[in-house]
Amino acid sequence: MTELQFAHEPDASRYTLHHGSDLVSVLDYRDDGRTVALTRAYTIPTFRGSGYAGELVDRAVAHLEQAGERRVSPVCWYVADWFAANPQRSGILVERRAG
């Protein structure tokens, strides 16, 4: 089985996941220096249903946790759902202020 390759592409403000030579999933973000807003998780249609987006979000969150410099705002619905399914990883999330 071909290994998955995870990459951070800061010049493009994205994380990527490749399966062999194929780009399978992309996670876009905005970084304001304090918070990383994860804005869009996208899997190439022919690769959907294989768990690539979840794997990419998991690796990106691990990357951000390891760096320890930023909080995360899950702007993308998929990322928000991923955090809801993985509450043990929610320590990195930006605290929401009451309206």
Q: How confident is the model at residue 1 (pLDDT cuts 50, 70, 90)?
A: very low
Q: How confident is the model over 6-48, as pLDDT tens digits?
A: 999 999 999 999 999 999 999 999 999 999 999 999 999 999 9
- Tokens at residue 6, please? 């995870």
Task: List C-alpha distances in Å: 50 to 7, 25, 45, 69, 94.
Answer: 19, 11, 11, 31, 29
**Cα distance between residue 24 and residue 72, in whole Å:** 23
**Cα distance between residue 88 and residue 41, in whole Å:** 20
Q: How confident is the model over 51-71, as pLDDT tens digits?
A: 999 999 999 999 999 999 899
pLDDT for 99 beyond 80: no
Residue 95 pLDDT: 81
Q: Is the whole-model pTM more than 0.95?
A: no
